[in-house]
């Protein structure tokens, strides 16, 4: 929907040069998915002008790979998305320990774009660092 004001358009992430030589833009659902990934991938305090922006999941980087860590990761992702991304309604955040890489959590986010009622999902891999 090109005229969709709520969903909007933004710079692609990571920033790229478009075919016409300007900044490449993403719009609609891809812009929202990029925003969700940026929110989860940003640690609070990382942005100088917005110190609260981001997701507390990064506090878990040295946590053990267990059900408690998965539960906290789910909670932190849900809280961050509800606070920072008003264009979506989060339906579910679930997580599991990857069976192939046991130090990786797979966080599944199911959400609906409020303006279009389009249901989407994405899996965000979050890596834990094992203590030695």
How far is it, in rounded angstroms, from Cα 86 to Cα 66? Answer: 31
Domain boundaries of the chain, sorted by first residue? 9-127
* Unique residue bearing structure tokens 């040069």: 17
pLDDT digits (tens, 9 = 90+) for 89-129: 999 999 999 999 999 999 999 999 998 999 999 999 999 99
Q: Percent of the chain, pLDDT > 90?
A: 72
Which residues in the chain belong to E strands, given as ranges?
Answer: 9-11, 25-27, 88-97, 104-113, 118-127
Model pTM score: 0.82
How far is it, in rounded angstroms, from Cα 54 to Cα 57? Answer: 9
How far is it, in rounded angstroms, from Cα 60 to Cα 82? Answer: 20
Phi, psi at 115, each rounded to 5°: -75, -35
* The CATH number of domain 9-127 is 3.10.450.40: yes
Name the nearest CA neighbour of 105 among 121, 117, 94. Answer: 94
């Amino acid at each position: 929907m090109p005229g969709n004001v709520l969903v909007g358009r933004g710079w692609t992430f990571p920033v790229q040069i478009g075919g016409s030589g300007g900044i490449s833009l993403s719009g609609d659902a891809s812009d929202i998915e990029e925003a969700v990934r940026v929110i989860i991938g940003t640690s609070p305090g990382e942005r100088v002008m917005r110190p609260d922006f981001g997701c507390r999941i990064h506090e878990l980087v040295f946590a053990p790979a267990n059900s408690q860590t998965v539960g906290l990761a789910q909670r932190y992702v849900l809280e961050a998305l509800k606070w920072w991304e008003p264009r979506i309604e989060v339906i579910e955040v679930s997580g599991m320990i990857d069976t192939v890489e046991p130090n990786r959590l797979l966080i599944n986010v199911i959400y609906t774009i409020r303006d279009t009622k389009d249901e989407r999902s994405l899996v965000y891999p979050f890596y834990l660092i094992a203590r030695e």
